[in-house]
Amino acid sequence: MTRKVFVLLIAILLANFVQAHAQQPNKVPRIGYLTGVSLSADSPRIEGLRQGLRELGYEEGKKHLY
């Protein structure tokens, strides 16, 4: 009986020691631009925003791990 208890205790300790932890996903920065005019009329502003973000190191469609 004591051998079974000992084996059970070791199994419980090993199960707690080897327990896997899920990784938390990184937050993906998202930037929105809301306007009241058509896309073609606002194209220079949008391109300026995109250029400024590229200069800061952001690239469309890529995740950044800051």
Return d(Cα 9, Cα 1) in angstroms, integer: 12
Phi-psi region of 14 (alpha: psi -120 to 50; beta: other; left: phi over 0): alpha
What is the distance between the terminal CA atoms of the chain, rounded to a whole angstrom?
55
Q: Between these two residues, 46 and 8, which has the higher pLDDT value? A: 46
Domain ranges of the chain: 31-61
pTM summary value: 0.49
Average confidence (pLDDT) over 2-9: 82
For residue 49, which of 58, 62, 40 has the smallest C-alpha distance? 58
pLDDT (0 to 100) of residue 9: 80
Highest mean pLDDT among 6-10, 14-18, 19-23: 6-10
The string of DSSP letters for 13-50 reads HHHHHS---PPPPPPPP------SS-TTTSHHHHHHHH
